[in-house]
Every structure is written in structure tokens, then in C-alpha cells.
Homo-oligomer: A and B are copies of this chain.
Amino acid sequence: MTTGEHDSQVSQPNPFLTQYVPPRIDGSFTGKHIITVDQFARKDLQILFDAAASLRKRVHESDRGLVELCNSKVMASLFFEASTRTDLSFQAAMRRLGGKVISASNGVQFSSVYKGENLADTVRAAGCYADVLVLRHPQLGSSYEAAYYLDKLNQRIQNPTVIISGGDGIGEHPTQALLDMFTIYDKKKQFNHLTVTMVGDLRHGRTVHSLAKLLTHYAPEQVTVCLVSPRSLTTPREIVARLQASGISVFETSELQAVLGQSDVIYWTRVQEERFAADPQEYEAVKDDFIITPAVMRHAKPDAILMHPLPRKHEMGTRSDHDILDEDPRAVYFEQMENGMFIRMALLAKVLRGVYV
């Protein structure tokens, strides 16, 4: 129970993060909030991936029946910080299913609601009008508070509303992890002896943490995870422990060349200069090892895939490097981005209707 604190205090985790337990999917998505990858078992991933692949096929065939799937449903976009990619892809996903989208005409962060009202009341306001909320919020754990108060609201009104997290602060961004995992699944089809290499700032990268959690479900297939980061930005020990406990072989290094030639999946992320404020010399020493260029890709396997959550900056070199990499069939980051829409379509259809899609 919070006591009057202002929501703009986003530097502290939201207390509901530890108090609210999100429901496990356990084969049934209908009416369930989606706020962490921990809700998903392997069979749930399989259901979701099958739905995403089916929906992708129907989009590519311009199947007009798609717009019947969420035809009478309304999604509210509540973005308390900008994230255009997540925002646009959720909107496109809902619309392609025939659903309706509402959002504050002036941007919710400028609104009186945001200024004057706590999150608990704001999500319930949207919950009165919509069937599903997509919440992006700077505070870690805010999606847990939103889910708690929507559960309260749902006891009072006839039209229950679920939340799907679009990322909360340094916490999770579950739909990003699901689309990443779907892309690996989709491109590789099977996981036998697959080597997944994640590169960059693995200490702070919520993207790689969530993906690592999902990879544990595929440990029985002898998956190896290589973690390539500067020494001061290694993966949190609890993530490494979780990978190992699942049976995955973990290999940590600061040298890409040690693992590049064996990698089936190369998941690239940015190393930000700001992280080295205490030791600028270390940044200078390591930065060139964390730029992927066409020259570096020459040492990758011919059937490897190069992934990136985008947007990209200097970690993919110059604009000319981008243009060359973009032509490489192994660079799948645009397909990955497209998959984001299909995964979000699958989630929306599943939580709103539970229908076979």
C-alpha cells in the first residue's frame, strides 16, 4: 500500500514490484496481464510463436478476416516516455487485428492526468474506457502497480481490462524479449547445440537479461550462451547463475574473436560511453572491440544471424557500414523489427480473445 508518494519519483523501484505476483500463463493467455517473461513456460512460448507465425502469414496474404479478431476491442496507449518503435508496432498490431486504439491527443506526459494524478488512478481511468492498456513508464515495477489496481477495478466494472507492459524503466521489456526469442526460433527452427552470443553492455542491458531468461527454456537442447562485454560491464551474477542452473553452458569473455566463429546467433547491443565516467581510458581501450562492421562479419559463420534491438548508432559503425551490413543476408534486424508487430498481434489476440489465431 503506497502512501501518497508522487509518481514522478521514478528513481526508486515501485513497491508493487515485490508485492504483486503476476499470473503464470500456463497455457492460457486470456485476461492475463503481461508484465514479465517469468510468466512464460516453454509451452507458452510455443503457443505464442505458432500464433505469431500464423498471423504473419495472414498479414502477408492480406487476409481480410484478420480484422475480425479484435474487432470490438479497444487498446489504450499510455506512453509516459517516448518509445516510438514499441508504440508504433503495438498500434499497428492492434489495428491489423481490427481493434481500436486510443491515446492522449497531446501525449500523456503533457496531460493534466499525468501531472496531477497517481498512476493507480490514471490506469483505472484508461481501464474504464479500454479493454487492454499498453503502458510504457520510466519507473521500475510500475507495470506491477498498474496490474494490481486494474485487478481492483475489474472487480467493480463489467468490462475487465488487462495491461501489457511496453517496458518499465531499467526493469523488463517483455515484448522485446519475446520478439527476440521468436526471431531466433523462426530463423533457426531448432536449438540443438545452438550458440547464442550476446555482445555489449551486459550489465545494464535489460534486453539481454530478459532474453537470457527465455533461453533457459531451451537448455535441454545443449544451448551455449557466450557473453561478450567489457570487464566492467559483465552480466549480473544472478543472470549467469540462472543460465547455468538451467543447464546452459555459459562462456564469458571480453574478446569477440574468441567466440565469433562458433556463434549461430550474434545479438549486438550498444556500449555507452557514459558508463565509463569513472574510467574514460577504459572506454577508449575497448570501444573499437564493440563495433560490428562488415569487416568483422567476415569472420562470422555463413549461416549465423546478426540481431540488434535497434535503434543503432556508432556500435554499427558509419552510415556506409550500415548500408553494407543491411545487404548482408545474415543481418536480420529488420525482420526482427517486423516480428515485433507479429508477436504483439499474437499477444493481443491471445489476451483479449484467447482465440485460435
Task: Mark contacts of A71-100 with chain B using CB atoms, 8 A cut-off: 1 yes-contact digit, 0 otherwise.
Answer: 110101101001111011101100110001
Residues of chain B within 8 A (CB-CB) of A120 are 319, 322
Task: Mark contacts of A275-315 with chain B using CB atoms, 8 A cut-off: 1 yes-contact digit, 0 otherwise.
Answer: 00000000000000000000000000000000000111100
Asked whether any CB of chain B lies closer than 8 Å to the CB of A323, the reply is yes
Chain A binding site: helix, strand, loop or mixed by DSSP?
helix
The distance from the CB of A9 to the nearest CB of chain B, in whole angstroms, is: 13
Q: A67: which of B71, B118, B158 is its contact (CB, 8 Å)?
A: B71
Asked whether any CB of chain B lies closer than 8 Å to the CB of A26, the reply is no
Asked whether any CB of chain B lies closer than 8 Å to the CB of A108, the reply is yes
Q: Is the CB of A1 within 8 A of B157?
A: no
Q: Is the CB of B83 within 8 A of A338?
A: no
Binds B, one of A126-134, A236-244, A253-261: A126-134
Q: Is the CB of A157 within 8 A of B100?
A: no
Residue of B nearest to A85 (CB): B125
Q: A113: which of B2, B64, B84, B109 is its contact (CB, 8 Å)?
A: B84
Asked whether any CB of chain B lies closer than 8 Å to the CB of A111, the reply is yes
Residues of chain B within 8 A (CB-CB) of A251 are none
Q: Is the CB of B67 within 8 A of A72?
A: yes
The distance from the CB of A59 to the nearest CB of chain B, in whole angstroms, is: 7
Q: Is the CB of A104 within 8 A of B105?
A: yes
Cα(A124)–Cα(B92), bound, Å: 14
Q: Is the CB of B153 within 8 A of A319?
A: no
Q: Is the CB of A311 within 8 A of B117?
A: yes
Q: A311: which of B5, B67, B113 is its contact (CB, 8 Å)?
A: B113
Given A112-B83, A124-B334, A125-B84, A92 contacting B74 (CB threshold 8 A): yes
Q: Is the CB of A95 within 8 A of B102?
A: yes
Asked whether any CB of chain B lies closer than 8 Å to the CB of A107, the reply is yes
Cα(A312)–Cα(B126), bound, Å: 15
Residues of chain B within 8 A (CB-CB) of A59 are 159
Q: Is the CB of A82 within 8 A of B110?
A: yes
Residues of chain B within 8 A (CB-CB) of A318 are 3-4
Residue of B nearest to A340 (CB): B128
Asked whether any CB of chain B lies closer than 8 Å to the CB of A62, the reply is yes
Given A1-B319, A116-B313, A319-B3, A96 contacting B72 (CB threshold 8 A): yes
Asked whether any CB of chain B lies closer than 8 Å to the CB of A38, the reply is no
Residues of A119-145 contacting chain B, CB below 8 A: 120-122, 124-126, 128-130
Residues of chain B within 8 A (CB-CB) of A157 are 334-335, 338
Ordered by A's residue number, 7 sampled pairs between the chains whose C-beta atoms are within 8 Å are: A82-B112, A82-B113, A85-B125, A101-B102, A121-B312, A153-B334, A157-B335
**What 3 pairs between A and B have smallest CB-CB spacing?**
A95-B100, A92-B129, A84-B113
